[in-house]
Amino acid sequence: MLKALRDRYGAHIVVANGENAAGGLGLTKPTARELLDAGIDVITLGNHAFAKRGILALMDSDPRIIRPANYPLGAPGRGWGVFRGSEGTSVVVANLLGRTFMTPIDCPFRTADAMLAELQGEPKTVIVDMHAEATSEKKAMGYHLAGRVSAVIGTHTHVQTSDEVVLAQGTAYITDAGMTGIQDSVLGLDKNMALSRFLTQVPGKFTLAEGTATLQGVVVDIDGTSGRATSIERISVEESEL
């Protein structure tokens, strides 16, 4: 569905979180290739960034794959990069990982500060994927970076939130962009398998749900000169609609 959506909105750059793309956990080289060939320009990751060993070499070799910047020094890959939109504007895409209810890691707030200090205001357009469990931590990051980045887009919980807003300082924000996958599921997993795990507390193999897929996300308009967002719009489209 991505080509039709790019044409509909005139999108200059497409960023997608792909950390659950490989059977629900992590990213593989073939899966990354499939996403990039579909028209995604930059793939961000999260707490499952290193779940598939085969992706490590690709992280180092392909700058379009971004893992959280606040992984400790020495981790493979890169946490942010500068990309060029289809109309020529330079765009920074950065990935941060929250710490609340998640694996302890370097501070995402101080990591963001260090990145912005290194950039020194150029390029103006900066998009941040804040991959975190706690709504409070995502909201705090939105306010922490307000006026300093173009957009803070939350990911990880697989449930699209309805709190999209352009903050007074010109930073677009949403707590969670949602999930691309089967909505008749439990976070993309077969609902019967998930129910059995909750009812019996007996672990079992994750089984992906089947059915009609929905693509969710946001479209953000950003002034390329100032880097300030002017609007943010939620999208949720079933494959049968395009």
* Domain ranges across the chain: 2-178+212-241
pTM for the predicted model, two decimal places: 0.94
Rounded to whole angstroms, how far apart are CA atoms 144 and 97? Answer: 15
Rounded to whole angstroms, how far apart are CA atoms 120 and 116? Answer: 6
Confidence (pLDDT) at 206: 81
Q: Extract the tokens encoding 87.
A: 């109309």
End-to-end CA gap in the chain: 7
Residue 79: band (very low, low, confident or very high) from pLDDT cuts 50, 70, 90: very high
Sheet with strand 65-66: strands edge to edge: 15-17, 42-44, 65-66
Mean pLDDT in residue range 129-144: 98
For 152-172, how does the pLDDT look when each residue is reduced to its tens digit (9 = 90+)?
999 999 999 999 999 999 999
For 8-30, how does the pLDDT look when each residue is reduced to its tens digit (9 = 90+)?
999 999 999 999 998 888 999 99
Is the separation of the CB atoms in 156 and 95 below 8 Å?
no
CATH of 2-178+212-241, one of 3.60.21.10, 3.30.70.100, 3.30.930.10, 3.40.50.970: 3.60.21.10
* 45: pLDDT strictly greater than 70: yes
For 80-110, how does the pLDDT look when each residue is reduced to its tens digit (9 = 90+)?
999 999 999 999 999 999 999 998 999 999 9
Give me the DSSP letters along 176-237.
Answer: ----SEESSSBTTB-HHHHHHHHHH-------B--S-EEEEEEEEEE-TTT--EEEEEEEEE
Buried b (16+ CB within 10 A) or exposed e, 37-76: eeebbbbbbbbbbbbbeebbebbeebebbbbbbbbeeebe
Percent of residues, the chain, with pLDDT higher than 90: 86
Rounded to whole angstroms, how far apart are CA atoms 133 and 187? Answer: 14
- Please report, for residues 14, 46, 180, the alpha-carbon distance to residue 38 in angstroms, rounded to integers and kept in the order given: 11, 21, 14
Residue 242: band (very low, low, confident or very high) from pLDDT cuts 50, 70, 90: low
Average pLDDT over all residues of the chain: 94
Confidence (pLDDT) at 239: 84
Q: Extract the tokens encoding 84.
A: 């060029």
Confidence (pLDDT) at 25: 86
Mean pLDDT in residue range 205-225: 93
User: Which residues carry out catalysis?
Assistant: 48
Sheet with strand 229-238: strands edge to edge: 181-182, 213-222, 229-238
Confidence (pLDDT) at 68: 98
* 73: pLDDT strictly greater than 70: yes
Confidence (pLDDT) at 216: 96
